[in-house]
Amino acid sequence: MKKPVCSRCGSDAVLLDAYAEWDMEKQDWVLQNVFQDAICEDCEGEASLDWVDVTSEASDSLACAGAV
């Protein structure tokens, strides 16, 4: 597995701009489009993303593949 992290601070608290539209059958919001403009919650601003590999066992830990 892999996950996106902020290229500036390495945080995985990153968000992408997206549109959601109402799905009548599911009665829920579904993603209609995802944009590439990333926001880092830790930097509180625009960010570019790096992708890091994550093992399933370590996905919830702080282990960060040797970065930083």
Total residues contacting Zn ion (rule CB under 5 A)?
Answer: 7
Q: Is 54 in the site for Zn ion (CB under 5 A)?
A: no
Q: Tell me which of 3, 4, 8, 50 binds Zn ion, using CB under 5 A.
A: 8
Helix (H, G, I), strand (E, B) or coil at 65: coil
Hey, which bits of 1-68 come out as E strands? 2-6, 14-23, 28-40, 45-47, 49-53
Segment 26 to 45, residues that bind Zn ion, using CB under 5 A: 40, 42-43
- In the complex, the residues that contact Zn ion under the rule CB under 5 A are 6, 8-9, 11, 40, 42-43
